[in-house]
A and B are shown apart, each in its own frame.
Chain A
Amino acid sequence: MTEYKKVDQEVIAKIIQIVGRDNVLSEDYELVTYTRDHQWVKYTDLFACKPEVVVLPEKPSQVADIVQLANRERIPVVPCGARSGMTGNCVPIRGGIQVDMKKMNKIVEIDEENLVAVVQAGIALYRLDSELRKRRFICGHRPGSQPTATVGGSISTSGWSEYRMKYGDIREQVTSLKVVLPTGELIKLGGGASGKVEKTSVGYPGLKHLFIGTWGTLGIVTEATIRIFPKPEYAYSATIAFESFEGACEATTKMLLADIPFSYLLVGNRSSVEFSRRVSPTYPDVDSIMTFTLEGKREIVEASKNVALRMCAEFGAKDVGKEVGDATFLAGYDAWGPWVTAYGPGYPLDEEGAVPYKRAPAVAKEFEAILRKYRVDNIGIVVGLARQYPILGCFWRVDERNTQKWEDYKRVSKEIAEIYLREGGTVSMAHGLGTRREEEFLQVELANSYDLMKKIKVMLDPNNIMNPGRWGLDTAYDRKEARN
């Protein structure tokens, strides 16, 4: 493993020279607040991964100077945004410098004519969206963590949006990026001369994607140009009760083949209904619930809605109205309150991946058997939010303080992941592999492209300073050392 230098007073003095004293945090009460994100952690390890110092840069040149300093001194650098990711990706597992990007939160430009916004990486999606809405636009990337997640965090985790069926995810919305490389150079990637062009065919067009979803292991995104969308004139949401989860999945496939332009569509199985009933006793006693949203011009939405409702009715489904819709807890952080409070203190976990719609009901039954086998709380299974290979989310609960169950929790996670792969899907469509299981599944899912990943990492980050210890990439440096 790479040997790193400790952050001593001399290094802190140099950091202060770059960003100023007010932007450097080293007190214990500051550092403990940078020890976790939204991944489940064994309670006894809760404050174990602490940064040695936190830096809050205010401009890109400061980010570049910090990274150069770290590269020279061999100190790990881990960038972070809102720390609302579910994989532990921004937790400084090797200590070092945590670069908190939240002070870089300016909107550089909103180009209403060309439908793009140029923003610094630390701006919260909610804040960008609020500003855009004042001008009759919206930010298309709307994950469950929208009130807190930052643009930079969404990019470096390749975040996933609940309204992806219409707008896509952030990776499809980025036209260009400004990035500080592990050796400290500040570069621009993609988007043509202005950075605003959605597609160019000049050079390697995929270069910007090297920095989308790579957890800051290849550099720090400081600025992004992303597409924005007109604020929908009208939105219609429906909540439909089905007699079976199988029927709901089949109806979904048919509606997608009919090309109904959904923004959002999610189907919950019986256990998700039971959870909603536990929280709201008047909730209907049915086997499956579907919620969908259509957005756009009113006449288009009205026409689409009529087709969708007719197709659902062919499966004997019933529109159960807004009240039930409001009490339906299918996805998103806002559902976590009820999850937590309905089951007592603990971590409501979403084990997710992708399988085809027609396999979802059978796979859901297998998942539930696993949850029963290890006696963990089953909060419900949901499927949807894609036209093909939809996300299949299995919600269950971990009590991080229960050390006796810990091995069981890991087994549940592993057995569910194996099923996603067996079905030809992916172990994670939304949140990414958490540190809890990354080594086991990386090689299986990535096959021989894993070696290419390691080569890219070594080439861009020769001293392994950027977010080290991720995805087994440290081994790339062991071999390099062995060769030398």
Chain B
Amino acid sequence: MTPMSELQKFRDALYTCSACSCGFCREDCPMFRTAMKDSAHSRGLTSLMLAFLEGKVKPSGGLAKHLNLCSTCRWCTERCPINVEYATRPPNLLIDTPKLVELLRSELLENGFAPPKVRDLLLNIKRVYNPWGSAPDHRMEWAKGLPTEPSAESTSQRIFVCCAYSYDQRAREAVRAATTVFQKARLAFVPIGSEQWCCGDMCQRLGEKALSESLAEHNIQLLENAKARDVVCLSPHCYHTIKNGPQYRSAKLNVEHYTRTLAHAIDEGRLKLYKQMKNKVAFHDPCYLGRYNSVYDEPRKVLESIQGLKLVEMYRNRKMSFCCGGGSGRILTEEPPYVERAAEERVKEALEAGADTIATACPLCLIQLTSATKSLGLERQLVAKDVVELVSEAL
């Protein structure tokens, strides 16, 4: 089925959104906060898609660049008054804008339209199997100097280390902390290794479904060779893709995000945090952990188990959390002009909540929020950390 014919199936839903036209999906949409125009939020996207189906909008490079503003954070889908339970009854009127954006991006790609940065990102994945474009041999560099891992034969569990954790300098610190924490909790920490490829999240969101499928095929083969049935993902993006993506369905894996693993370890008394800390921490819900997979409590539970740590909530939290703007490849393709970067707005919100630390459980959020504290010159007032880094400090 072509992307266009798949998009046609959503005609009723697109029309319904156009007829409702309420625009509730605007104010806290990171795409809108970045561009502040009517085309830059779900209502605008659905009207331009309807116009596209009617032949009133032509495929173009400009349109592809515009679509790239969407981080597929799904805030719009949660906020939409039409997206209530009965919307799933036939005819399906659920307005799943991230899915629709994926289809239109795919259609534009087939017509040869993609912004240069997106093209580079996809090319990187094709060449070296990671969006960062770094050499596959360097994937395990983060592990240099760490104590020897338990033998791979002793466990059927594997850690899926996101490309961001593997290649980004800031995120590498978090995965090193994760190693320490897992070992203290007597949990196996066996990464798949330098053979691992990208999970396929970014290319899937950017409309390159076939590429995402070939990456999955390779990763499934690796896991099968290692006889691994359980996968712990450090990134919510890998977690969502491997857990829910049709390309991984055949592997029948048990997939878990690391915050759940740690929450269980705390419950069972395997992970004990002795150190007294003084941080006031605001937890930033990663979209692919929260809205996509309803994991809201576990990361908070892990943070609250740290003695002395005070958890504060930002004005927008949980289901209504505000995206950092880094999803859907935007971590690498975000470029000016912007009215305000979503991550900067989020950092200010954490300060307003009285936090001195903004914690998250996603490498993309971590990179975005760290860069925002720097660009705003607020590094002394607020520090961005991965939940696992705080846990490691509290050991």
Contact = CB atoms under 8 A, between A and B. Distances in A.
B16 A30 contact: no
B91 A344 contact: yes
Contact of B18 (A46, A145, A148, A348): A46
Given A337-B82, A337-B84, A345 B38 contact: no
Interface in A76-91: 82-84
B22 A38 contact: yes
Nearest to A124: B27
Q: Which of B60, B63, B79, B86 has the most CB of A within 10 A?
A: B86
Nearest to B14: A345
A336 B95 CA distance: 14
Given A82-B26, A84-B21, A34 B87 contact: no
Nearest to B47: A33
Given A32-B47, A32-B57, A33-B47, A340 B16 contact: yes
Contact of A345 (B15, B60, B79, B352): B15
Contacts of A130: 315
B23 A83 contact: yes
Contact of A336 (B22, B36, B39, B79): B22
A29 B27 contact: no
Contacts of B52: 29
Nearest to A22: B337
A29 B60 contact: yes
B56 A47 contact: yes
Nearest to A38: B21
A342 interface: yes
Contacts of A25: 37, 39
B376 interface: no
B19 A337 contact: no
B112 interface: no
A394 B315 CA distance: 37
A338 B86 contact: yes
B56 A28 contact: yes
Contacts of A134: 315, 352
Nearest to A56: B37
A147 B42 CA distance: 14
A35 interface: yes
B15 A148 contact: no
A105 B345 CA distance: 15
Interface class of chain B by DSSP? loop
Contacts of A102: 36-38
Interface in B87-107: 87, 89, 91, 93
B24 A29 contact: no
Interface in B56-98: 56-58, 60, 62-63, 66, 79-84, 86-87, 89, 91, 93
A275 B292 CA distance: 31
Contacts of A33: 37-39, 43-44, 47-48
A83 B38 contact: yes
Interface residues of B, number: 47
Contacts of B268: none
Q: Which of B27, B57, B83 has the most CB of A within 10 A?
A: B27
Interface string A103-123: 101000000000000000000
A342 B89 CA distance: 9
A37 B43 CA distance: 11
B82 A29 contact: no
Given A28-B58, A103-B339, A341 B22 contact: no
A126 interface: yes
A127 B24 CA distance: 12
A334 interface: yes
A54 interface: yes
A38 B27 CA distance: 17
Contacts of A338: 84, 86
Contact of B47 (A35, A38, A56, A105): A35
A336 B20 contact: yes
A28 B27 contact: no
B91 to A, nearest CB: 7
Contact of A126 (B27, B57, B87, B339): B27
A279 interface: yes
Contacts of B256: none
A33 B54 CA distance: 14
Contacts of B54: 46-47
A346 interface: yes
Given A103-B339, A340-B82, A333 B39 contact: no
Given A29-B57, A103-B339, A338-B86, A333 B81 contact: yes
Contact of A103 (B36, B63, B315): B36
A298 interface: no
A431 interface: no
Q: Which of B21, B52, B84 has the most CB of A within 10 A?
A: B21
Q: Which of B22, B51, B57, B83 has the most CB of A within 10 A?
A: B22
B217 interface: no
A34 B37 CA distance: 10
B173 interface: no
A81 B100 CA distance: 26
Interface string A1-28: 0000000000000000000001001011
B81 A337 contact: yes
Q: Which of A33, A340, A400, A401 has the most CB of B within 10 A?
A: A33
B120 interface: no
A333 B56 CA distance: 28
A334 B84 CA distance: 10
A27 B52 CA distance: 13
A341 B57 contact: no
B168 interface: no
Contacts of A420: none
Contacts of A27: 60, 62-63, 66
A337 B80 contact: yes
Contacts of A100: 37-38
B12 interface: yes
Nearest to B44: A33
A178 interface: no
A387 B21 CA distance: 31
A368 to B, nearest CB: 23
B23 A34 contact: no
B98 to A, nearest CB: 18
Contacts of A47: 51, 54, 56
Contact of A147 (B24, B48, B50, B89): B24
A342 B86 contact: yes
A29 B93 contact: no
24 contacts: A27-B66, A28-B58, A28-B60, A29-B39, A29-B51, A29-B62, A29-B66, A32-B57, A46-B18, A84-B23, A124-B27, A148-B27, A333-B22, A334-B81, A336-B20, A337-B80, A338-B86, A340-B19, A340-B82, A340-B87, A341-B86, A345-B19, A346-B16, A400-B15
Interface of B: 12-13, 15-16, 18-24, 26-27, 36-39, 43-44, 47-48, 50-52, 54, 56-58, 60, 62-63, 66, 79-84, 86-87, 89, 91, 93, 315, 337, 339, 352
Nearest 7 pairs of A and B residues by beta carbon: A337-B81, A148-B23, A32-B51, A33-B44, A347-B19, A33-B39, A341-B86
